[in-house]
Amino acid sequence: MTLGTIGCGKMGTTLIGGAIRAGIVTPDQIIGCDPLPAAREAFAELTSARTTTSPAELADACEVILLCTMPLQAAAALREAAHAAAGQPRLIISIAAGITLATLEAACPENFRVVRAMPNTPALVGKGAAAYCLGTRATPADAATAGMLLGAVGIAMEMPERFMNLVTGLSGSGPAYVYVVIEALADGGVLAGLTRAVALRLAAQTVLGAAAMVLETNEHPAVLKDKVTSPGGTTIAGLAELERLGLRSALIAAVSAGARRAEELGHS
Protein backbone atom coordinates (compact mmCIF):
# COMPACT_ATOMS: atom_id res chain seq x y z
CA MET A 1 0.00 0.00 0.00
CA THR A 2 1.13 3.54 -0.73
CA LEU A 3 -0.48 6.04 1.65
CA GLY A 4 -0.77 9.80 1.58
CA THR A 5 -2.39 12.51 3.64
CA ILE A 6 -3.65 15.79 2.23
CA GLY A 7 -3.26 17.85 5.36
CA CYS A 8 -0.31 17.34 7.71
CA GLY A 9 -1.93 18.73 10.83
CA LYS A 10 -2.25 16.80 14.08
CA MET A 11 -4.86 14.31 12.89
CA GLY A 12 -3.25 13.56 9.54
CA THR A 13 0.12 13.08 11.21
CA THR A 14 -1.43 10.95 13.96
CA LEU A 15 -3.16 8.59 11.53
CA ILE A 16 -0.01 8.19 9.47
CA GLY A 17 2.08 7.66 12.60
CA GLY A 18 -0.35 5.00 13.80
CA ALA A 19 -0.13 3.20 10.47
CA ILE A 20 3.66 3.17 10.73
CA ARG A 21 3.67 1.89 14.32
CA ALA A 22 1.17 -0.84 13.41
CA GLY A 23 3.38 -2.01 10.54
CA ILE A 24 0.73 -1.22 7.92
CA VAL A 25 3.14 0.95 5.94
CA THR A 26 6.76 2.07 6.13
CA PRO A 27 7.93 5.69 5.77
CA ASP A 28 9.07 5.15 2.19
CA GLN A 29 5.46 4.28 1.25
CA ILE A 30 4.10 7.60 2.57
CA ILE A 31 3.68 11.15 1.30
CA GLY A 32 2.36 14.11 3.30
CA CYS A 33 0.92 17.17 1.60
CA ASP A 34 0.42 20.58 3.19
CA PRO A 35 0.85 24.20 2.03
CA LEU A 36 2.40 25.22 5.37
CA PRO A 37 6.17 24.66 5.72
CA ALA A 38 5.93 24.21 9.50
CA ALA A 39 3.32 21.46 9.12
CA ARG A 40 5.40 19.64 6.50
CA GLU A 41 8.53 19.89 8.64
CA ALA A 42 6.77 18.53 11.72
CA PHE A 43 5.22 15.71 9.70
CA ALA A 44 8.58 14.73 8.20
CA GLU A 45 10.28 14.81 11.59
CA LEU A 46 7.65 12.57 13.21
CA THR A 47 7.19 10.10 10.35
CA SER A 48 10.46 10.23 8.35
CA ALA A 49 8.26 10.37 5.23
CA ARG A 50 8.59 12.74 2.32
CA THR A 51 6.34 15.74 1.83
CA THR A 52 4.97 17.93 -0.95
CA THR A 53 2.84 21.03 -1.41
CA SER A 54 0.92 19.44 -4.29
CA PRO A 55 -2.20 17.26 -3.86
CA ALA A 56 -1.68 16.31 -7.51
CA GLU A 57 1.78 14.87 -6.85
CA LEU A 58 0.46 12.93 -3.87
CA ALA A 59 -2.53 11.53 -5.77
CA ASP A 60 -0.33 10.40 -8.62
CA ALA A 61 1.75 8.28 -6.24
CA CYS A 62 -0.62 7.08 -3.49
CA GLU A 63 -3.23 4.32 -3.67
CA VAL A 64 -4.89 5.36 -0.40
CA ILE A 65 -5.37 9.05 0.38
CA LEU A 66 -6.38 10.49 3.74
CA LEU A 67 -8.26 13.76 3.25
CA CYS A 68 -7.44 15.64 6.44
CA THR A 69 -8.27 19.21 5.41
CA MET A 70 -10.73 21.67 6.87
CA PRO A 71 -14.26 21.02 5.55
CA LEU A 72 -14.33 24.04 3.24
CA GLN A 73 -11.06 22.94 1.57
CA ALA A 74 -12.04 19.32 0.99
CA ALA A 75 -13.78 19.53 -2.41
CA ALA A 76 -11.04 21.66 -4.01
CA ALA A 77 -8.29 19.33 -2.76
CA LEU A 78 -10.19 16.33 -4.09
CA ARG A 79 -10.68 17.87 -7.53
CA GLU A 80 -6.97 18.61 -7.82
CA ALA A 81 -6.09 15.09 -6.71
CA ALA A 82 -8.61 13.54 -9.12
CA HIS A 83 -7.23 15.45 -12.09
CA ALA A 84 -3.69 14.27 -11.36
CA ALA A 85 -4.56 10.61 -10.82
CA ALA A 86 -5.49 10.39 -14.52
CA GLY A 87 -7.76 7.39 -14.40
CA GLN A 88 -5.91 5.45 -11.70
CA PRO A 89 -8.16 3.95 -9.00
CA ARG A 90 -7.79 5.52 -5.57
CA LEU A 91 -9.33 5.10 -2.12
CA ILE A 92 -10.17 8.39 -0.40
CA ILE A 93 -10.74 8.40 3.38
CA SER A 94 -12.09 11.81 4.37
CA ILE A 95 -12.17 13.11 7.94
CA ALA A 96 -13.62 16.51 6.93
CA ALA A 97 -16.42 17.17 9.44
CA GLY A 98 -19.90 17.26 7.98
CA ILE A 99 -18.90 16.68 4.36
CA THR A 100 -21.20 13.98 2.98
CA LEU A 101 -20.34 10.99 0.85
CA ALA A 102 -22.45 12.47 -1.96
CA THR A 103 -20.41 15.69 -1.91
CA LEU A 104 -17.14 13.79 -1.80
CA GLU A 105 -18.12 11.46 -4.63
CA ALA A 106 -19.32 14.38 -6.76
CA ALA A 107 -15.80 15.85 -6.57
CA CYS A 108 -14.20 12.56 -7.67
CA PRO A 109 -14.07 10.51 -10.88
CA GLU A 110 -15.85 7.15 -10.93
CA ASN A 111 -12.68 5.19 -10.26
CA PHE A 112 -12.23 6.88 -6.86
CA ARG A 113 -13.84 5.04 -3.93
CA VAL A 114 -14.77 7.13 -0.91
CA VAL A 115 -14.99 6.48 2.83
CA ARG A 116 -16.19 9.16 5.24
CA ALA A 117 -14.68 8.98 8.72
CA MET A 118 -14.72 10.87 12.01
CA PRO A 119 -11.82 10.19 14.39
CA ASN A 120 -11.10 12.24 17.50
CA THR A 121 -8.05 13.80 19.12
CA PRO A 122 -7.35 11.08 21.75
CA ALA A 123 -6.00 9.20 18.72
CA LEU A 124 -2.87 11.25 19.48
CA VAL A 125 -2.25 8.94 22.45
CA GLY A 126 -3.63 5.78 20.83
CA LYS A 127 -7.04 6.09 22.57
CA GLY A 128 -9.15 7.41 19.71
CA ALA A 129 -12.78 6.66 18.96
CA ALA A 130 -13.66 6.72 15.26
CA ALA A 131 -16.62 5.90 13.06
CA TYR A 132 -16.69 5.49 9.30
CA CYS A 133 -19.14 4.81 6.49
CA LEU A 134 -18.72 3.65 2.90
CA GLY A 135 -19.50 5.42 -0.34
CA THR A 136 -21.45 3.79 -3.16
CA ARG A 137 -18.32 2.52 -4.91
CA ALA A 138 -16.39 1.42 -1.82
CA THR A 139 -15.74 -2.29 -1.38
CA PRO A 140 -15.47 -4.61 1.64
CA ALA A 141 -11.70 -4.41 1.18
CA ASP A 142 -11.92 -0.61 1.46
CA ALA A 143 -13.90 -0.99 4.69
CA ALA A 144 -11.18 -3.25 6.03
CA THR A 145 -8.50 -0.72 5.06
CA ALA A 146 -10.35 2.15 6.74
CA GLY A 147 -10.97 0.09 9.86
CA MET A 148 -7.32 -0.94 9.99
CA LEU A 149 -5.97 2.61 9.64
CA LEU A 150 -8.41 4.16 12.11
CA GLY A 151 -8.13 1.19 14.47
CA ALA A 152 -4.36 1.62 14.65
CA VAL A 153 -4.93 4.64 16.93
CA GLY A 154 -7.94 3.47 18.95
CA ILE A 155 -11.30 1.87 18.17
CA ALA A 156 -13.10 2.16 14.81
CA MET A 157 -16.74 1.36 14.10
CA GLU A 158 -18.47 1.13 10.71
CA MET A 159 -22.00 2.59 10.63
CA PRO A 160 -24.55 4.12 8.26
CA GLU A 161 -23.87 7.67 7.13
CA ARG A 162 -27.03 9.02 8.77
CA PHE A 163 -25.26 8.66 12.13
CA MET A 164 -22.02 10.43 11.19
CA ASN A 165 -23.01 13.94 12.22
CA LEU A 166 -24.21 12.52 15.54
CA VAL A 167 -20.83 10.82 15.98
CA THR A 168 -19.19 14.17 15.28
CA GLY A 169 -21.19 15.80 18.06
CA LEU A 170 -20.50 12.96 20.50
CA SER A 171 -17.02 11.49 20.09
CA GLY A 172 -15.60 14.02 17.62
CA SER A 173 -16.27 17.01 19.89
CA GLY A 174 -16.68 15.02 23.10
CA PRO A 175 -13.05 15.22 24.28
CA ALA A 176 -13.45 18.98 24.69
CA TYR A 177 -16.49 18.44 26.91
CA VAL A 178 -14.55 15.95 29.03
CA TYR A 179 -11.64 18.40 29.36
CA VAL A 180 -14.09 20.94 30.79
CA VAL A 181 -15.30 18.29 33.26
CA ILE A 182 -11.72 17.48 34.29
CA GLU A 183 -10.90 21.16 34.72
CA ALA A 184 -14.05 21.74 36.75
CA LEU A 185 -13.33 18.74 39.00
CA ALA A 186 -9.83 20.08 39.57
CA ASP A 187 -11.24 23.53 40.34
CA GLY A 188 -13.45 21.91 42.96
CA GLY A 189 -10.41 20.28 44.49
CA VAL A 190 -8.54 23.59 44.56
CA LEU A 191 -11.55 25.30 46.16
CA ALA A 192 -11.46 22.64 48.87
CA GLY A 193 -7.75 23.23 49.51
CA LEU A 194 -5.76 20.91 47.21
CA THR A 195 -2.91 22.25 45.14
CA ARG A 196 -3.65 22.71 41.43
CA ALA A 197 -1.18 20.00 40.38
CA VAL A 198 -2.59 17.43 42.80
CA ALA A 199 -6.21 18.28 41.99
CA LEU A 200 -5.65 18.08 38.23
CA ARG A 201 -3.83 14.76 38.44
CA LEU A 202 -6.54 13.24 40.64
CA ALA A 203 -9.31 14.57 38.38
CA ALA A 204 -7.73 13.27 35.17
CA GLN A 205 -6.99 9.86 36.65
CA THR A 206 -10.53 9.64 38.02
CA VAL A 207 -12.02 10.26 34.57
CA LEU A 208 -9.58 7.79 33.01
CA GLY A 209 -10.41 5.13 35.58
CA ALA A 210 -14.17 5.65 35.31
CA ALA A 211 -14.02 5.34 31.51
CA ALA A 212 -11.96 2.15 31.80
CA MET A 213 -14.54 0.70 34.20
CA VAL A 214 -17.32 1.28 31.65
CA LEU A 215 -15.34 -0.27 28.79
CA GLU A 216 -13.84 -3.20 30.68
CA THR A 217 -16.81 -4.29 32.80
CA ASN A 218 -19.48 -3.69 30.11
CA GLU A 219 -21.77 -2.51 32.88
CA HIS A 220 -24.13 0.41 32.31
CA PRO A 221 -22.79 3.68 33.73
CA ALA A 222 -25.89 3.96 35.92
CA VAL A 223 -25.07 0.60 37.53
CA LEU A 224 -21.48 1.64 38.17
CA LYS A 225 -22.70 4.98 39.55
CA ASP A 226 -25.03 3.23 41.98
CA LYS A 227 -22.18 1.03 43.22
CA VAL A 228 -20.35 4.16 44.40
CA THR A 229 -23.42 5.83 45.89
CA SER A 230 -24.07 4.99 49.54
CA PRO A 231 -27.27 6.06 51.30
CA GLY A 232 -26.81 9.50 52.80
CA GLY A 233 -23.18 9.59 51.69
CA THR A 234 -20.86 12.04 49.96
CA THR A 235 -21.48 10.81 46.42
CA ILE A 236 -25.26 11.18 46.49
CA ALA A 237 -24.82 14.67 47.90
CA GLY A 238 -22.60 15.57 44.98
CA LEU A 239 -24.90 13.89 42.43
CA ALA A 240 -27.86 15.86 43.78
CA GLU A 241 -25.95 19.08 43.08
CA LEU A 242 -25.09 17.94 39.52
CA GLU A 243 -28.77 17.27 38.86
CA ARG A 244 -29.81 20.57 40.41
CA LEU A 245 -27.34 22.51 38.25
CA GLY A 246 -28.12 20.60 35.08
CA LEU A 247 -24.86 18.84 34.16
CA ARG A 248 -26.66 15.98 32.45
CA SER A 249 -28.87 18.30 30.39
CA ALA A 250 -25.90 20.50 29.48
CA LEU A 251 -23.89 17.57 28.10
CA ILE A 252 -26.87 16.25 26.13
CA ALA A 253 -27.38 19.73 24.66
CA ALA A 254 -23.68 20.01 23.78
CA VAL A 255 -23.76 16.76 21.79
CA SER A 256 -26.90 17.89 19.97
CA ALA A 257 -25.37 21.28 19.17
CA GLY A 258 -22.22 19.65 17.78
CA ALA A 259 -24.29 17.36 15.57
CA ARG A 260 -26.31 20.32 14.24
CA ARG A 261 -23.12 22.23 13.43
CA ALA A 262 -21.71 19.23 11.56
CA GLU A 263 -24.91 19.16 9.51
CA GLU A 264 -24.49 22.88 8.73
CA LEU A 265 -20.88 22.37 7.62
CA GLY A 266 -22.07 19.76 5.14
CA HIS A 267 -24.25 22.38 3.45
CA SER A 268 -21.68 25.21 3.47
- Name the average pLDDT for the chain: 94
In a domain, 189, yes or no: yes
| pLDDT on residue 190 | 98
In a domain, 14, yes or no: yes
pLDDT at residue 268 is higher than 70: no
Max CA distance (Å), the chain: 71
Question: What are the beta bridge partners of residue 154?
Answer: 128
**Residue 268 vs residue 203, higher pLDDT:** 203
In a domain, 167, yes or no: no
Give the mean pLDDT of 201-215.
97
Distances, alpha carbon 244 to alpha carbons 146, 223, 239, 248, in Å: 43, 21, 9, 10
| pLDDT on residue 86 | 65
154 and 80 co-located in one domain: yes
Q: What is the CATH number of the domain that holds 232?
A: 1.10.3730.10
Range of the domain at 154: 3-161
213 and 83 co-located in one domain: no
Number of domains, the chain? 2
Which of 161, 191, 218 corresponds to the end of one domain?
161
| pLDDT on residue 77 | 87
pLDDT at residue 261 is higher than 90: yes
100 and 212 co-located in one domain: no
| pLDDT on residue 267 | 77
Give the mean pLDDT of 155-174.
96
**What's the angle, vertex CA 174, arms to CA 171 and CA 179, rounded to 5?**
145
Calculate what percentage of the chain has a pLDDT beyond 90.
Answer: 85
95 and 25 co-located in one domain: yes
* pLDDT bucket at 133, cuts 50 / 70 / 90: very high
pLDDT at residue 238 is higher than 80: yes
180 and 260 co-located in one domain: yes
118 and 237 co-located in one domain: no
